[in-house]
Amino acid sequence: MTHDTITLIKVGRRKRQRRWLIVTGLLTIMTLALSMMMLMLGNTIHPVGEVIRALFGESIEGVSFTVTTLRLPRMLAAILVGFAFGIAGDVFQTMLRNPLANPNVLGVTTGASMAAVFCIVILGANNSVISTASIIGGLATVIVMYVLSRGKSFSIGKLILIGIGIQAMLNAAISYMMLISAEQDIPSVLRWLNGSLNGVTMSAIPPIAIAVAILVPLILLFSRSLSMLELGEQMATTLGVRTDLTRVILILGSVAMISIATSITGPIAFISFLAGPIAKRLAGPGFSSLLPAGLVGIVLVLASDLVGQFAFATRYPVGVITGIIGAPYLIYLLIRMNQKGEL
Model confidence over 63-115: pLDDT tens digits?
Answer: 889 999 999 999 999 999 999 999 999 998 888 777 777 777 777 888 888 88
The proportion of the chain whose per-residue pLDDT surpasses 70, expressed as a percent, equals: 93
Looking at every residue in the chain, the average pLDDT score rounds to 85
Q: What is the pLDDT of residue 284?
A: 83
The amino acid at 174: I
SS (H, E, C) 263-281: HHHCCCCCHHHHHHHHHHH
Confidence at 341, pLDDT banded by 50, 70, 90: low
CA–CA dist 66, 71 (Å, integer)? 6
Q: Over the stretch 228-253, which tens digit does the pLDDT of each residue have?
A: 777 766 777 777 777 778 888 888 88
Q: Which residue has the higher pLDDT, 156 or 207?
A: 207
Q: What is the pLDDT of residue 300?
A: 95
User: d(Cα 53, Cα 64) in Å, to the nearest integer?
Assistant: 9
Judge residue 284's burial from the number of C-beta atoms within 10 Å of its C-beta, 0-12 exposed, 13-18 middle, 19 or more buried.
middle
- Whether 59 and 179 have beta carbons less than 8 Å apart is answered as no
CA quadruple 251, 255, 156, 93: dihedral positive or negative? Answer: negative
Q: Among candidates 322, 280, 327, 329, which has minimal Cα distance to 299?
A: 322
Q: Is the pLDDT of residue 210 over 90?
A: yes
Q: What is the pLDDT of residue 75?
A: 96
Q: b/e for 88-124, b at 16 or more Cβ within 10 A?
A: bbbbbbbbbebbbbbbbbbbbbbbbbbbbbbbbbeee
Flag whether pLDDT at 342 surpasses 80: no
Q: What is the mean pLDDT of residues 146-150?
A: 76
Which pLDDT score, from 0 to 100, does residue 83 have? 96
Cα–Cα dist 135/133, whole Å = 5
pLDDT of residue 113: 85
Q: For 165-185, what is the mean pLDDT?
A: 85
Domains of the chain: 81-339 (1.10.3470.10)
| Residue range 168-196: mean pLDDT, rounded | 83
DSSP state letters, 47-70: PHHHHHHHHTT---TTTHIIIIII
Residue 153, pLDDT > 70, answer: no
C-alpha dist (Å) from residue 239 to 185, 208, 219? 53, 34, 19
Q: Provide mean pLDDT across the span 207-234.
A: 85
Q: What percentage of the chain reaches a pLDDT higher than 90? A: 28
pLDDT of residue 212 exceeding 90, the answer is: yes
For the cut 70, the answer to whether the pLDDT of residue 31 exceeds it is yes
Q: d(Cα 272, Cα 151) in Å, to the nearest integer?
A: 27
Give the residue-averaged pLDDT of 256-278.
87
Task: Check pLDDT > 70 for residue 155.
Answer: no
Alpha-carbon gap, residue 171 to 288, rounded angstroms: 34
Amino acid identity of residue 177, one-letter, is M
Mean pLDDT confidence for 322-341: 78
Apex CA 186: angle with CA 144 and CA 110, to 5°? 20
DSSP for 191-213, please give it.
Answer: HHHH---TT--GGGHHHHHHHHH
Question: So what's the pLDDT on residue 145?
Answer: 82
Distance linking the first and last C-alpha atoms of the chain: 40
Q: Report, as an integer, the average pLDDT of 299-320.
A: 91
pLDDT at position 264, please? 87
* Contact assessment for residue 261 and residue 104, using Cβ atoms and an 8 Å cutoff: no
DSSP letters spanning 81-130: HHHHHHHHHHHHHHHHT-TT-SHHHHTHHHHHHHHHHHIIIII---HHHH
Q: How far apart are CA 331 and CA 273, in angstroms?
A: 12
